[in-house]
Structure 1
Amino acid sequence: ESGVDITVCFRPDSGVARDVLDLLREYESYSRRIKVSFVDPDRDLAAARELEQKHKVSEPDVVVISAGSRLRVVRARDLFAYRREPGAADGRGQRLFRGEQALSSAIYGVIQTNQPVVYMLKGHGERELDDFDRNSGYSGIERVLRRSSVHVEPLLLGEKGGVPRDADALVIAGPNHRFTQAELDFLREYLDRSGRLFLLLDYGADTGLETLLEAWGVRPGNDRVVGTTLAGNELMVTDYGAHEAVRALRNVTTLFFGPRSINPVLVEGAPDSRQADRPRVSVLAACSDRGWAETDFRQIPPRLDAADRPGPVPVAVAVERGPISGMDVDLKPTRLVIVGDSTFAANGALELGCNTDFFMSALNWLLGREELLDIPPRPPDLLRILMSRAQLDMIFWITVLAMPGLAVLVWAVVRWRRRI
């Protein structure tokens, strides 16, 4: 019930202060519960000191969002993503403003009363949230989830006797050991009770999950998808499906690293596709028609041969089974997202392309947080310039009267000097 207080603590020369403040003023105009204030840490020393004492925030260039006892801090580095492009001079390409996404998620975090609980599976060589290695660790994902108001817990299926009842979603990131039959039964039972699964499955991994996925209309390929690349070891993806989970990712790039194909298949014996019991599989991301699924892992560099499958080849899919849209049934559908790569969400990869946005868009869809799905990263030059009536009047008088009048005055002075 409490209001949301937002303090923009940015140095004016930071290059982003005006954009952030203008965006938050729009938020303020839409809701009387949102109050926005600005603090210049170099000039408003008393206000900056009060902010530090009240919220324990000592660094500049942050947005502090609070509602009652709940607090979120959005830092300048969280407001941008980079779209990598071949030949980019700085190695990162175009800078995209994702402030609307970051700030909306933070506001959502302080006003919601219950955080979703996401379990990260362990015990099969999965990625670790406390691993800070750039190539293998998921400590960056842990920070992203915490910033997005998601509570994360590790999970060993054997210790818990299955997936806990309070699980809003289960993440299995990069398993490389086989699951036991008991563990597969635990996962099958979880999905049958409207579970939500985010599976990141690397090529070459033998996990025993294939039979389980086949029943949900998905078949991971024994291959590696290649195509448009920068350095030769990653796949640049800009082709997304029409699914709501990736609707906001138009014109941005996600970088996958040697992904396997994730293929929709017809489920034998399944009911008619119009019925709710049939899994509905949608492609989320695919290589372009210039890529292909490479079946010979020893071939360096890869070449498109007769045994390979030409693109577009899907590398990520979404699966849903349950009430069909338009049916008046109060049931929660089962949802899965399967991605043929876990390295794209590792610490170093999160700095590339819009990998963070792809990961969070998929997870938000699994969690049913639809209000956070339609906020795309965008170039800063698309931001609107907001001006008051007085400022617009001033621009009018300067351009219509002052500037032409100055030109006439200069002409008159020059003419007068020539006469004398």
Structure 2
Amino acid sequence: MKHFLLPLCWGIALLSLTLGLSLFYIEQQFSYLASVLVVIGGIAFIVLLSLIIKHNFSQSKSIGLVSFFSLKRWKKLAIVFSIVIGSIAFIGASHYLANQSSIRWDVTQDKQHTLSNNTIQYVRTLTSEVQLTAFHVGMPPKYLQDIFNEYERVSGGVIKTEIVDPIEQIAYAAKFGNAINADERKVIVQSGDNRKDVDFSLKALSEDKLTNAIASVSRASRTVYFLTGHGEYSTTNDEYLGLSKFKQLLADNNIISKNLMLGISQSIPDDCDVLIIAGPKNALTQNEEELIVDYLTTGGDALFLIEHTLVTTPDKPLSAEQLQNNPSLNSILNQWGLDVQSDIVVDLTNHVGDDVGSPATKNYQLHKALTAGLDYTFYVRPRSIRVLPQRRPSIKHAIIASTASAENSWAETNRTLDIQFDPNTDTAGPVPFSYVVIDERNTADPQENKSSDTRLIVFTDADFLTNVYINQYSNAQMGLNLVNWLAELDYKTFVSAKEIKVERLDLTSKQKRQVIVILFLLPFFFVIAGAVVWLRRKR
């Protein structure tokens, strides 16, 4: 019993001394409790330690040099040495294997340390070196280094990164034409002679901005033309029904938007990669339609956004002029096997708000470049589209989106808001309201770089891409996918799907000291317990 109490009392004394000193460190003064613990623990520790040393010294004299050469003593030391060496080897091997392995687990809430599949797929296609140079005064945030490391890892070294303090490395920063500003934070993306700056002074650097910048410097830009002159939705309109946000999304994806008034130009420019006809209110002239048909026939690509038919009430019949508003453009589309109907697609179970004429759907046909990974999209009073039975054999059609409900959706032909399914005149669901068309042709010139295949996409709604609706559901992603596929780009578009949150835990100085004590005190408990056990066995 005596042999057990002495080491135990020594451990309690050491623990009391440690707790007293910890309280002093946290409070930055000797409180009554801290003083008592330090004094009692200190005195007891010194007295007990002297007794233990005296007892061990008397024992060691009796044992003499015989114990030094004891086989049992050296066997224990060999076991301890083997355990230490084995532990070091295990830690070293595990770290090496962890660095060599590509398996990773991101446990952050928004997976902010993991690049999206779109980014990974695109970055792995890069062949020319891309340099990312971040300018940040002072200590850079950890997330910045983390995201840079991810780009380097995924690209296999094609992407090089560096973080520069423009004040400490003023001469190096001057090579980039960088004005010294302590508040400015930006990443300069370079590939060859191309350069794009990404500013993150006010908002944390996002993956989509960085990936779009990489795409911008490593790939040639595309140009789309928006038809104007017939009441189309405008890319310069910042109001609810404008397309300014859609234009900005295209620009973020290295796609240049221009306006085209065929009535004046009398031709479609040669640099037109995609012609976008966004909801004309008035009919096109015959000459304009012929120009568009010629453009498509020679391998041009176009996105048709047809607006809804006008509706009214029984007491207010539509005039002949109103009936002609929002033309279907069937005189063009019929030549590629599609016919837009004068009806309204309704869905009683899957719609936005209280408007059954604004169907929301995830009923997409499998098309990897257009609909893969999309959530719901919704459309304002779309029309149904019918495929003509007689069309050229080279034309291929595929539905993009249909109403989600089969039993409770249909194409309503009654334009007086009397929503009731009539099997004689209405088309039962699911109702398709968007199609993709490919007209495959063999190019006459095998050396010609641009494909002669015609690509058409027809949606019977333009509102889903307007400023008021584009950021709802997956509308923006759908719109970008459409233009991306029509422009025949071989990488997916990037839309901001997550935002890096730089979480901060602000602690007071006292709380910081408490954390330090906890971090060091808890392991020390095990040291004390081990010392007590060791002393007990020695006795």
Following the alignment from structure 2 to structure 1, what is the Cα–Cα distance between the partners of residues 148 and 178?
21
In structure 2, the residue matched to 1:120 is 226
Q: Percent identity?
A: 25
In structure 2, the residue matched to 1:255 is 378
In structure 2, the residue matched to 1:203 is 308
- Does residue 165 of structure 2 align to residue 36 of structure 1? no
Question: What amino acid is aligned across from residue 434 of structure 2 in structure 1?
Answer: A
Following the alignment from structure 1 to structure 2, what is the Cα–Cα distance between the partners of residues 4 and 288?
43
Structure with the greater alpha carbon radius of gyration: 2
1:26-76 deviation per Cα after TM superposition (whole angstroms, max 9, x unaligned): 3322243422345799x99989x9899628999878655333564445577
- Does residue 403 of structure 2 align to residue 287 of structure 1? yes
Following the alignment from structure 1 to structure 2, what is the Cα–Cα distance between the partners of residues 371 and 55?
34
In the TM superposition, 1:159-178 aligns within 5 A as 159-178=264-283
RMSD: 4.3
The question of whether the paired residues in 1 share the 8 Å contact of 2:369 and 2:492 is answered with no
From 264, 287, 290, the equivalent of 1:182 is: 287
Unaligned runs of 5+ in 2: 1-126, 310-324, 501-519, 532-539
- Does residue 501 of structure 2 align to residue 370 of structure 1? no
The question of whether the paired residues in 2 share the 8 Å contact of 1:240 and 1:246 is answered with no
Following the alignment from structure 1 to structure 2, what is the Cα–Cα distance between the partners of residues 349 and 22?
34
- Does residue 334 of structure 2 align to residue 214 of structure 1? yes
> Higher helix fraction: Structure 1 or Structure 2?
2
How far the C-alpha of 1:24 sits from its partner, in A, is 4.3
The question of whether the paired residues in 1 share the 8 Å contact of 2:337 and 2:390 is answered with no
In structure 1, the residue matched to 2:237 is 131
Following the alignment from structure 2 to structure 1, what is the Cα–Cα distance between the partners of residues 263 and 467?
28
From 346, 349, 356, the equivalent of 2:466 is: 346
> Higher strand fraction: Structure 1 or Structure 2?
1
1:330-362 deviation per Cα after TM superposition (whole angstroms, max 9, x unaligned): 743100111111111111222212222111111
Residues 304 and 9 (structure 1 numbering): CA distance in 2 closer, same or farther, change over 3 Å? farther
In structure 2, the residue matched to 1:336 is 456
Instruction: Tell me the secondary structure at the aligned position of residue 249 of structure 1.
Output: coil
Question: What amino acid is aligned across from residue 477 of structure 2 in structure 1?
Answer: D
1:76-123 deviation per Cα after TM superposition (whole angstroms, max 9, x unaligned): 7xx99xxxxxxxxxxxxxxxx9x65554332111122x3222111111
From 106, 116, 131, the equivalent of 2:213 is: 106
The question of whether the paired residues in 1 share the 8 Å contact of 2:267 and 2:291 is answered with yes
Question: What amino acid is aligned across from residue 308 of structure 1 in structure 2?
Answer: D
Instruction: Tell me the secondary structure at the aligned position of residue 349 of structure 1.
Output: coil
Question: What amino acid is aligned across from residue 117 of structure 1 in structure 2?
Answer: T
From 416, 419, 422, the equivalent of 1:298 is: 416
Residues 319 and 269 (structure 1 numbering): CA distance in 2 closer, same or farther, change over 3 Å? closer
1:279-334 deviation per Cα after TM superposition (whole angstroms, max 9, x unaligned): 1111112220243323334327x45444433322222211101159xxx9974310
Question: What amino acid is aligned across from residue 253 of structure 1 in structure 2?
Answer: Y
- Does residue 240 of structure 2 align to residue 154 of structure 1? no
- Does residue 127 of structure 2 align to residue 5 of structure 1? no
In the TM superposition, 1:392-411 aligns within 5 A as none
The question of whether the paired residues in 2 share the 8 Å contact of 1:264 and 1:281 is answered with no
Instruction: Give the TM-score normalised by structure 1.
Output: 0.70
Q: Which has the higher contact order (CA 8 A, sep 6+)?
A: 1
